[in-house]
Amino acid sequence: MKYHSTRNNNDLFSPSEAVLQGLAPDGGLFVPQELPKVDFATWIGLDYQTIAKRIFKIFFSDLSDQIIAEIVSAAYGDNFDDPQIVPVHLIDDQIGFLELWHGPTLAFKDLALQFLPHLMQAAKKQLHFEQDILILTATSGDTGKAAMEGFAGVEHFKVIVFYPHNGVSSFQKRQMLCRDYDNVRAIALRGDFDDCQRGVKQLFSDQEFAGEAATAGYALSSANSINIGRLIPQMIYYINSYLQMVTANCLSYGEPISIVVPTGNFGNILAACYAKAMGLPLGRIHLAANQNNVLADFLQTGIYDSNRPLVKTSSPSMDILVASNLERYLYLKKPDSEWLKSLMRDLNVSGKFQIDPEILDLTASWTDENETSIAINQVYQSYEYLIDPHTAVAYSAIAKAGLTGLTLVASTASPYKFMEKILSSLDKEIPPDDRQSIETIAELSGQGIPQTVSKLWRLPQDKEIVISADQMAKAIFDNIKRK
């Protein structure tokens, strides 16, 4: 497998080169040269790890079978609290939740970010790359801690995470400020996630900054979903979940399943699109947005317009107005680099662009805060099952989209990460501190408090660093000089 930029399909890169660089040299995103067709019917009965090995062999073809097996073993083992890695929780014969939050940071980002550090280490060895790697990442809450957890203590890697000040839940903030190792650090930025993402992208394109980083002994890379090493692992759980349903006799192979994905930066839903393009019998793939409904508007009209106020919601991973992975989806639908360059130029200059909506094959809807609360309450009252606000947005979309037949909802975060919204939605009193809220959530769920949650109260917290966008470079060098 070779990769090229969405903005230039002539220059080809090996998988290891694409993974280590993160962003293509021209500012585009790396995409596979082709998406091969696979007869997934022959994969029925395989466990999560075996499916992962087969997918990684296709897309990271410059690594040996032995190295891929070692990476998969390290990435998907007892670091997840369920042996299935991603179990499907069926609430009836029509609706199931893909529980993507059984990893060490309780969010779907773990499925990729427990894998990515091992992949990058292998890529580094494959290319005989001697420099240390400086990972710069923007987060709306979940990616940050998942990256910090994945790279914690990994030699020759330094991770700096930027998150929006007052833009993440109190639990997410505690997660990022509690750490076991000095090679990872989270810094708050005055602004929203788009400011964080924009600032990181600007640093990647700043030759002077790259030169200073090189002088300090570091090459730059990213753990954001712009890195192809983040996207490929996300395909696995859609493949695995469909095959789980076949094995459980919920459907026969070939019958379609609808997928609903709460979406912010477009990576999670893009992985479902890639799996379908490779032959997985998915039916409708439906995008669920919160009140920051720029993507829902786009899929309905063909007009992408980020010129609107960002609304802070209870589902912060979707509080995004510029979705990076949309560029990959557009290339999938129309692989024309010049056309795509013009769209991204328009987006950069005016904050908007327009295309013919006929080329788009996803449906979309959006849910406000009140509807989110209603969904949380309804699922708990009807099924005694707790869902977080992001999952609630997706659940609410099922009726809006008129979906029938078996539908799987991507449940992207544990209820523990957004306790205040859940408790208020259930008309429960909100305790004065997170520790008491955790005990209340545990009681409502009927399950014990996860070890990864208890651990946070045993670790010291860093003092929060709050900076403006023009201080990002200085904050980075202040940290990496301590190596």
pLDDT computed for residue 140 by the predictor: 87
Two tokens, residue 433: 């501190």
Q: How many residues does the chain have?
A: 483
Cβ within 8 Å of residue 319, ≥6 positions away: 140, 167, 192, 193, 264, 290, 292, 310, 311, 312, 313
Alpha-carbon gap, residue 231 to 420, rounded angstroms? 30
pLDDT computed for residue 465 by the predictor: 95
Closest CA to 236 of 16, 76, 21: 76
The answer to whether position 482 is within a domain reads no
The answer to whether position 376 is within a domain reads yes
Closest CA to 407 of 41, 101, 111, 93: 93
The answer to whether position 57 is within a domain reads no
Determine the straight-line distance between the first and last CA of the chain, rounded to whole angstroms.
36
CB atoms within 10 A of CB 448: 9
Strand partners, 285: 259
Domain of 338: which CATH number? 3.40.50.1100
Contact criterion met (CB below 8 Å) for 169 and 388: no
The answer to whether position 205 is within a domain reads no
179-207 pLDDT, tens digit each: 989 999 999 999 999 999 999 989 988 99
The answer to whether position 66 is within a domain reads no
How is the beta sheet containing 3-5 ordered, strand by strand? 8-13, 3-5, 30-32
DSSP 8-state secondary structure symbol assigned to residue 2: -
Two tokens, residue 344: 């991204």
The answer to whether position 345 is within a domain reads yes
pLDDT computed for residue 411 by the predictor: 98
CB atoms within 10 A of CB 426: 15
385-436 pLDDT, tens digit each: 999 999 999 999 999 999 999 999 999 999 999 999 999 999 999 998 899 9
DSSP 8-state secondary structure symbol assigned to residue 312: P
pLDDT computed for residue 483 by the predictor: 46
Structure-derived torsion over alpha carbons of residues 235, 237, 240, 243, reported in degrees to the nearest 10: -90
Two tokens, residue 361: 């094959």
Strand partners, 287: 261, 364
What tens-digit pLDDT sequence spans the chain (483 residues)?
A: 999 999 999 999 999 999 999 999 999 999 999 999 999 999 999 999 999 999 999 999 999 999 999 999 999 999 999 999 999 999 999 999 999 999 999 999 999 999 999 999 999 999 999 999 999 999 988 889 999 999 999 999 999 999 999 999 889 999 999 998 999 999 999 999 999 999 998 998 899 999 999 999 999 998 888 899 999 999 999 999 999 999 999 999 999 999 999 999 999 999 999 999 999 999 999 999 999 999 999 999 999 999 999 999 999 999 999 999 999 999 999 999 999 999 999 999 999 999 999 999 999 999 999 999 999 999 999 999 999 999 999 999 999 999 999 999 999 999 999 999 999 999 999 998 899 999 999 999 998 899 889 888 888 899 999 999 999 999 999 988 754
Two tokens, residue 257: 């399943």
* Residue 3, φ and ψ in degrees, nearest 5: -125, 155
Two tokens, residue 421: 């919204």
How many alpha carbons fall within 13 Å on the CB side of residue 450?
20
pLDDT computed for residue 474 by the predictor: 95
Structure-derived torsion over alpha carbons of residues 320, 213, 341, 295, reported in degrees to the nearest 10: -10
Two tokens, residue 207: 């030759």
Domain that holds residue 313: 88-106+229-450
The answer to whether position 68 is within a domain reads no
Number of domains in the chain: 1
The answer to whether position 433 is within a domain reads yes
The residue assigned the tokens 């992001």 is 390
Q: Write the DSSP assignment of 108-123 as a string of letters.
A: TTHHHHTTHHHHHHHH
